Amino acid sequence: MPTHETSSVSTPNTPDPSDLESAMVSRRDFLRSAGALTAVAGIQTLLPAWVQASGDAHAGGLTGLQPTRRDGNRVEYDITIDRTPFEVAGKRATAITMNGTVPGPLIRLQEGEEVVLRYHNKLDEETSIHWHGLLLPNQFDGVPKVNYPAVAPGETFEAGPFEVRQYGTYWYHSHSGLQEQLGHYGPLVIDPAGEEPQPYDREHVVVLSDWTFEDPYQVLANLKKGEHYYNFQQQTVGEFWSDVSEDGFWDTLKNRLSWDRMRMSATDLSAVRAPTYSYLMNGQAPGANWTGLFNPGERVRLRVINASAASIFDVRVPGLEMDVVQVSGQNVEPVTTDEFRIGTAERYDVIVGPTDDRAYTVFAESLDRSSYARGTLAPREGMEGPVPDQRERPTLTMAAMGMSGMGDGEMGDGDMEDMQHGDMGGMDHSNMDMDHGDMSEGMSGDMGESDGLRPPGTLPEPVMHDPDEGHGPAEAGLPMMTKSRLHEPGIGLGNDGWRVLTYDQLKASDEKDAFRAPDREIELHLTGNMERFMWGINGVEFSDADPIRVGHDERVRLTMVNDTMMNHPMHLHGQFMELENGHGKRAPLIDTITVKPAERVSLLIDGHEKGPWFFHCHILYHMDAGMARVFYVEPAPDSEEEFYYDLPA
């Protein structure tokens, strides 16, 4: 059991975000800390050893955190959480660090060993660490008010001992308030018990993140004032006339007025973007030029982790193709591509093979094209690869928003009139296929084939929204149609001739030993009101939601439907999900998936990992505003095990 000095803690029935707010840094504390730093000269970017040792080869492994103790197959690690002066691109601030660095130290584990992960809170507020993607006992998962009461100032918590049951690339971060935005994150790599299926000569961890010099709680307050607060990429008069030349004056004018009636913008791609954000690669701004070394002819593995608070990146290495070999820490059949999109909290392992004696740029462009993170792969220190020009900022279309009927064309003028604010009462639904099951949470939907499994090579059919269906004021608009978009690269990609990785290309390296039909289906709608910055699931915010119950050993099809115009990287704690992408028994295992606007996606979950597990959008501000739930996996009927989280009566 965890070590915790608190003698008595009242256990809530349902986690309340107001409780979580007690762990937040106050604006006054934030400004006091930042102001004190103006007197500090010569502060350097806080780089852990694994970032500085850019030339380590695979034979020796990247420089990870040294264990506090090793005894046979048992290993123990200690992490100290504190505030430390921090510098980004010549500007000073304060960060929440782990062992004094941003990102935190690389924790390197071995599949099959017994581990203890111990962390000490030196902050003046509560903190926590969630081990993202790790299969571990529920009480160690690290979500306050769900798995434990959080770690109070001056206290120590032990996650473990537990057996490492997996391999691959993962990460760890705070689940207290908005600490993640303040630097509280780090990489975690687990070496397999056997041989790697794809050999490589050298590896580099590439941690992508976003940093703001604003108080993150003020950022959230600003977003609640208006969704356009950080959008400095609005459509211009020049773009209007450019569209007129292509589509005609009246069609262009009607399109602009339609977006205005829906109180949305075709450029609402990210909640926060540059210049508010500085995008970092391994804790360094683009000008710092993080460098990873290679010898020409080597196969170099890049373990790419999106540890940002709210950013989605498009990653490429111009001049090199990439073999994608692992996703969410799990091996996949290699896919050769030129570029991939990585949502918040996702991980992609790729292998590149530079043969020339020159530098290559590792380029991570933000989805909204407001800026980028970048580093260099080079045969020698001091080299710098050419930085590509940024691409034009894309704009959302009505088709991409699921507002184009059953085809791919734009909606007619009358359809647009009926689409504003989700009001579809004037539309004729008499010929629409409405067989999509009960939309309510926890109810069984259409299972597809008679055996409950979709045939390999097939994806779900498009589904029309019920005109009477809505989720209250927390949902500002409904797409007319939702469908599988696993074969689509995403907005702003795929139009320049480069190969782009898509979810439907991912195939597990091996067939699953057990693969059966689900016992039931749970359909959840991702909902939001951007104007009021309200986010929820089925129109309900986390504070008002009941848990989603999964029976012991029950197999569930989780269908997520994105009713919003934003991408949502959805993460389920404590277990993997089988992505139904048309590959049957070789469906890839993932713990996080980015759900596109107007997309319908389904995954299979087994009720093996007992206890309450947090489920949420990994865009920090969406989660904090309410897009979260608790999945409660029932223990065996004869089990007497108790969990910190109490189910509501």
Q: Please report which confidence band the pLDDT of residue 75 belongs to, taking 50, 70 and 90 as the band edges.
A: very high
Q: Please report which confidence band the pLDDT of residue 317 belongs to, taking 50, 70 and 90 as the band edges.
A: very high
Reduced to 3 states (helix: H, G, I; strand: E, B; else coil), residue 395 is coil
Amino acid identity, residue 393? R
Arithmetic mean of pLDDT, 548-557: 97
| pLDDT number for residue 247 | 65
Arithmetic mean of pLDDT, 248-274: 61
How many residues are there in the chain?
A: 649
User: Domain 413-633: which topology?
Assistant: Immunoglobulin-like (2.60.40)
User: Domain 17-195: which topology?
Assistant: Immunoglobulin-like (2.60.40)
The better pLDDT of the pair 125, 233 is held by 125
As given in the structure block, the two tokens for residue 357 are 């004696």
Residues of the chain with CATH 2.60.40.420: 17-195, 199-233+269-393, 413-633
Percent of the chain with pLDDT over 90: 63
- Options 1.10.150.120, 2.60.40.420, 3.40.50.10300, 1.10.645.10; which CATH number does 199-233+269-393 get? 2.60.40.420
| pLDDT number for residue 393 | 74
| pLDDT number for residue 299 | 97
The per-residue pLDDT for range 118-128, each reduced to its tens digit, is 999 999 999 99
Cβ neighbors of 536 (< 8 A, separation 6 or more) are 471, 474, 475, 527, 528, 542, 545, 626, 627
Would the pLDDT of 429 be above 90? no
Please confirm whether the linkage preceding 569 is cis (ω < 30° from 0): no
The per-residue pLDDT for range 634-645, each reduced to its tens digit, is 999 988 899 999
How distant, in Å, are the alpha carbons of 193, 348, 376, 507, 583 from that of 511?
A: 19, 20, 37, 9, 10
| pLDDT number for residue 199 | 95
Place of tokens 């407001």: 370
Q: How far apart are CA 394 and CA 493, in angstroms?
A: 9
Q: How far apart are CA 266 and CA 400, in angstroms?
A: 10
Would the pLDDT of 548 be above 80? yes
Cβ neighbors of 425 (< 8 A, separation 6 or more) are 418, 467
| pLDDT number for residue 98 | 97
Residue 410 buriedness (CB in 10 A; 0-12 / 13-18 / 19+): middle
Other Cβ atoms within 10 Å of 145 Cβ, number = 23
Q: How far apart are CA 618 and CA 622, in angstroms?
A: 8
The better pLDDT of the pair 25, 569 is held by 569
Arithmetic mean of pLDDT, 345-367: 97
The better pLDDT of the pair 522, 60 is held by 522
Q: Please report which confidence band the pLDDT of residue 248 belongs to, taking 50, 70 and 90 as the band edges.
A: low
Would the pLDDT of 30 be above 50? no
Top-confidence range, 1-10, 168-177, 395-404, 509-518: 168-177
| pLDDT number for residue 251 | 58
The better pLDDT of the pair 25, 260 is held by 260
Q: How far apart are CA 203 and CA 229, in angstroms?
A: 40
Q: How far apart are CA 628 and CA 181, in angstroms?
A: 18
| pLDDT number for residue 457 | 74
pTM to 2 decimal places = 0.84
| pLDDT number for residue 425 | 31
| pLDDT number for residue 597 | 92
Cβ proximity of 576 and 592 under 8 Å: no
The better pLDDT of the pair 606, 450 is held by 606
Q: Please report which confidence band the pLDDT of residue 227 belongs to, taking 50, 70 and 90 as the band edges.
A: low
| pLDDT number for residue 237 | 45
Q: How far apart are CA 558 and CA 560, in angstroms?
A: 6
Cβ neighbors of 498 (< 8 A, separation 6 or more) are 316, 338, 339
What phi and psi, each to the nearest 5 degrees, are found at residue 169? -100, 125
Cβ proximity of 562 and 568 under 8 Å: yes
Lowest mean pLDDT among 10-14, 244-248, 486-490: 10-14
Arithmetic mean of pLDDT, 73-83: 97
The per-residue pLDDT for range 280-311, each reduced to its tens digit, is 999 999 999 999 999 999 999 999 999 999 99
Strand (E) positions, 51-200? Answer: 69-71, 74-88, 91-98, 107-110, 114-121, 130-132, 156-163, 168-173, 185-191
Q: How far apart are CA 578 and CA 590, in angstroms?
A: 7
Percent of the chain with pLDDT over 70: 75
| pLDDT number for residue 26 | 43
Please confirm whether the linkage preceding 296 is cis (ω < 30° from 0): no
Lowest mean pLDDT among 26-40, 362-376, 582-596, 611-625: 26-40
Q: What is the mean pLDDT of the chain?
A: 82
Would the pLDDT of 109 be above 80? yes
Arithmetic mean of pLDDT, 416-435: 33
Q: How far apart are CA 181 and CA 276, in angstroms?
A: 13
Would the pLDDT of 11 be above 50? no
Would the pLDDT of 276 be above 70? yes
